[in-house]
Amino acid sequence: MNIESRHRALDKMYRRRDRYEIPEWQREADVWDTERQQKLIDTILRGWHLPKFYFLKVEGADDSYEVVDGQQRLVAIWAFFDGKLQLSKESAREFGGPTCANTYADLPDNAMDAFDDFEIQYDEISDATEDELTELFQRLQLGVALTPDERLNAVMGGLRDFCKMLAAHPFFQKVSFPGRRYAYFGVCARFAFLEIQGIPNQLRFQELQGLLHDYSGFSEKSPVGLRMTRALDLLDSAFPAKSAALRSRVSSLTLFRITARLVEARTKPDSARKLATFFESFVSALRAEVEKGSEAEDEDLIEFQECITQNLTSGRTIRARERIMHKKLLLFDPTLVESLSGELDPQPWVDDIATLGETAMYLVTALNSASAGITGIDLFKPTNETTKAFAALRTPIECLSDYGHFIDSLYFLTYESTGDGKRYGEAVPDFVNDIRDLRTQLRHDVDHGNHSKAASKRKHLAAVFQKYSGVASPDVSPSSAFPIIQVRILAEFKHMLHSLLSNYQRSAPQPP
């Protein structure tokens, strides 16, 4: 066993909070009330010493830890950073400045800097056996009481036996979170509860214990048992080797649930590797967004992380995690919409479309101002058609005809209103060429002329549509996929506009 003493500033830890796994069983014990959390924040703002934290390094995962001691302090710190925890009245009067601010975002600069720069001291434990950890905890007086997962293992019956069998599945050789103290069994028990009972108001030890008692006659050959086993079979084939992306029990459990839905819908076998690629990209995007701190933009990913750091067991946060991962999976691969559309409320797509449309309007206005300041003319010539085009961008697509109107509107905005692309300068952006191709696929006959060239053109146009939809033609895309395709196209439009605006800002003359 190796133990190294380290220290790290709170703002750096907050930007990496997705790397500190707080076992669910620790959250259920000695939960701090608001007053105790506020006292901790007050202590930090005063610069007073905190007791040492203990983190167990997760093998096979880059800079990731299981929180051995200090979990309630971290939950309070994350809550204050996130604006979920306010200062006490006394602390607000002392540290909030003249406005008596009571949240992190409202702190005066000196108090915010002091909080950000406060360093915690921690011991990093690595290369430890279970016996060594037990001995260390006893000497540190951290205790070695049975965890809820160990206590659940003592409940005899068919469902307990099935969860133990599932915990020995080869897939668990691919995960990066530790299996100590029946952790894999615990994940499988929670998976079983959600598959059998659905999402409850709370998913705690008492609910899990009751399920194991009630389903003592459970059979692995039952529809639920087969679905769960096949879900892990699919994941085992999806991940060819141990994956650092599978470092969080909570995120992995959410992935189990999505995979079970794909199994239930009898999704094509080739979706397995897509699923792994999606999950790895999801975890990578989550990490990147978390590291942005207060500059984070993806509200879905930030909500997903908050659901992990603040409350793992409530039905609300379980639903939110599943909703967000479902949504991101469909944006990654819209061809899965028929398998997963029943799991999603369509309202988030409507909200995203409206938000992206409004953002595009704002960016176009900013670009016209920037362009006029340098060249004397607008980049996107405003006309009555411009207003109609923006209205079409914000209207959710429900059918092929709506899709055609949407593409026509984007074609007008990005190509026709820019003087057939001439105002972009030396190179027309790739996105504009994509929109031209999408419109050509809809509005033009490409079969005339040389047969070989026509075939090549059709393949190119199909590849462009497939880039946004996962299929070769809007004619074969299910209507339920169109709002997802619309979000993907609008997100790319937003990215193009941001890039153009950045280019203008860099080329603008600087004041003397």
**Considering the domain boundaries, does residue 422 fall inside one?**
yes
Most confident range (mean pLDDT) of 97-101, 125-129, 291-295, 490-494 is 490-494
Q: What is the mean pLDDT of residues 70-90?
A: 89
**Considering the domain boundaries, does residue 512 fall inside one?**
no
Whether residue 135 sits in one domain with residue 8:
yes
Whether residue 169 sits in one domain with residue 72:
no
**Considering the domain boundaries, does residue 427 fall inside one?**
yes
Q: What are the backbone angles phi and psi of residue 30, rounded to the nearest 5°?
A: 50, 50
- pLDDT confidence of residue 80: 93
Whether residue 49 sits in one domain with residue 23:
yes
Whether residue 192 sits in one domain with residue 117:
no
**502, pLDDT greater than 80:** yes
Q: What is the mean pLDDT of the chain?
A: 88
Strand partners, 2: 126
Whether residue 239 sits in one domain with residue 131:
no
The greatest distance separating any two alpha carbons of the chain, rounded to the nearest whole angstrom, comes to 83
- pLDDT confidence of residue 452: 81
**137, pLDDT greater than 80:** no
**461, pLDDT greater than 70:** yes
Q: How many domains does the chain have?
A: 3
Q: CA geometry: angle at 100 spanning 94 and 105, to 5°?
A: 100
**512, pLDDT greater than 60:** no
**448, pLDDT greater than 70:** no
- pLDDT confidence of residue 138: 66
Pairing relation of β-strands 119-126 and 65-69? unpaired
Neighbouring C-beta atoms of residue 228, cutoff 10 Å: 26
Per cent of the chain over pLDDT 70 is: 91
User: For 458-472, b where at least 16 C-beta lie within 10 A, e where not — what string?
Assistant: eeebeebbeebbbbb
Whether residue 372 sits in one domain with residue 300:
no
Domain boundary (140, 164, 195) is at: 140
Let me know how many helices (H) and strands (E) the chain has, helices first: 23, 5
Q: What is the mean pLDDT of residues 472-492?
A: 93
Domain boundary (284, 316, 343) is at: 343
**134, pLDDT greater than 90:** no
**Whether the Cβ atoms of residue 152 and residue 25 lie closer than 8 Å to each other:** no
**347, pLDDT greater than 80:** no
CA–CA separation, 373 vs 504, rounded Å?
10
Instruction: Provide the domain limits for residue 333.
Output: 148-343
Whether residue 388 sits in one domain with residue 245:
no
**Considering the domain boundaries, does residue 218 fall inside one?**
yes
**484, pLDDT greater than 60:** yes
Whether residue 416 sits in one domain with residue 378:
yes
CB-count exposure of residue 450 (10 Å: 0-12, 13-18, 19+): exposed
**Considering the domain boundaries, does residue 311 fall inside one?**
yes
Domain boundary (314, 343, 372) is at: 343
- pLDDT confidence of residue 464: 96
Whether residue 492 sits in one domain with residue 422:
yes
Residue 128 pLDDT grade (very low, low, confident, very high; cuts 50, 70, 90): confident
Q: CA geometry: angle at 438 spanning 434 and 442, to 5°?
A: 165
Residue 9, token pair as written in the block: 């500033």
- pLDDT confidence of residue 445: 73
pLDDT digits (tens, 9 = 90+) for 24-52: 655 555 578 899 999 999 999 999 999 89
Neighbouring C-beta atoms of residue 368, cutoff 10 Å: 16
- pLDDT confidence of residue 29: 52
Q: Is 243 helix (H, G, I), strand (E, B) or coil?
A: coil
Residue 121 pLDDT grade (very low, low, confident, very high; cuts 50, 70, 90): very high
**Considering the domain boundaries, does residue 380 fall inside one?**
yes
Tell me, what amino acid is at 141? Q
- pLDDT confidence of residue 234: 94
- pLDDT confidence of residue 266: 82
Most confident range (mean pLDDT) of 124-128, 452-456, 466-470 is 466-470
Full DSSP string of 281-334: HHHHHHHHHHTTGGG---HHHHHHHHHHHT-SSBHHHHHHHHHHHHHHHHHH-G
Cα–chain center distance at 280: 11
Whether residue 179 sits in one domain with residue 63:
no
Per cent of the chain over pLDDT 90 is: 58
**Considering the domain boundaries, does residue 182 fall inside one?**
yes
Whether residue 369 sits in one domain with residue 293:
no
pLDDT digits (tens, 9 = 90+) for 400-435: 999 999 999 999 999 999 999 999 988 899 999 999
- pLDDT confidence of residue 173: 94
Q: What is the mean pLDDT of residues 208-214?
A: 92
Cα–chain center distance at 462: 30
**355, pLDDT greater than 70:** yes
Whether residue 434 sits in one domain with residue 363:
yes
**199, pLDDT greater than 90:** yes
Residue 380 pLDDT grade (very low, low, confident, very high; cuts 50, 70, 90): very high
Q: What is the mean pLDDT of residues 249-273?
A: 87
The CA radius of gyration of the chain, in Å to the nearest whole number, is 27
**Considering the domain boundaries, does residue 203 fall inside one?**
yes
pLDDT digits (tens, 9 = 90+) for 275-333: 999 999 999 999 999 988 778 889 999 999 988 887 677 899 999 999 999 999 999 99
Strand partners, 67: 55
